[in-house]
């Protein structure tokens, strides 16, 4: 479960967000973009901060109209009592894969952003932290087939997000 993803051109990513602060997180993966090899960034400041996930070969061609697509993960919201009904299935999913110390920390809205249009994914994503082979990992989990993995660098950077 290493972190073997190349980062897109940082200046191209910065240009998408017009002067907002952009901080690299590290390699990520999901099934929501054209390639599972992706790279995440923290964008913005304070309450408006979000995670942007781009495919690893994202670049802006100065000779073509930019085709910008990324995942946008909103800051987490507190878990409600009704969310707890999801926890047994989440824990079972990770336990069956040999993970332990499983914690569900918050709930997040995920949006697919394509050329200025946003498409919200209806299911909430739960931020889950777990241990595997002694290392801590962080994943945004909607179901067994709808995950956004952040690897060890994501666990370090996003635990409080």
Closest CA to 97 of 62, 141, 61: 141
Q: Map tokens 């073997």 to a residue.
A: 4
Q: Is 27 within 8 Å of 76 (Cβ atoms)?
A: no
pLDDT in tens, the chain (161 residues): 444 457 898 999 999 998 899 999 999 999 888 777 899 999 998 888 999 999 888 877 777 766 778 999 999 999 999 999 999 999 999 999 999 999 999 999 999 988 888 999 999 999 999 999 999 999 999 998 899 999 888 888 898 89
Rounded Cα–Cα distance for residues 13 and 143 (Å): 29
DSSP three-state, residue 86: helix
């Amino acid at each position: 479960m290493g972190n073997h993803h190349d980062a897109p051109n940082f200046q191209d990513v910065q240009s998408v967000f017009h002067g907002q602060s952009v901080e690299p997180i590290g390699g990520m993966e999901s099934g929501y973009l054209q390639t599972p090899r992706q790279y995440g960034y923290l964008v913005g400041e304070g309450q408006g901060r979000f995670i942007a996930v781009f495919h690893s070969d994202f670049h802006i061609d100065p000779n073509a109209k930019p085709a910008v697509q990324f995942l946008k993960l909103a800051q987490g919201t507190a878990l409600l009592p009704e969310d707890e009904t999801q926890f047994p299935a989440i824990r079972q999913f990770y336990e069956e894969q040999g993970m332990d110390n499983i914690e569900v920390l918050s709930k997040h809205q995920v949006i697919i952003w394509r050329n200025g249009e946003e498409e919200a994914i209806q299911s909430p994503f739960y931020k889950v932290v777990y241990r595997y082979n002694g290392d801590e990992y962080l994943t945004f989990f909607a179901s067994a087939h709808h995950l956004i993995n952040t690897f060890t660098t994501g666990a370090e950077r996003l635990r409080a997000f």
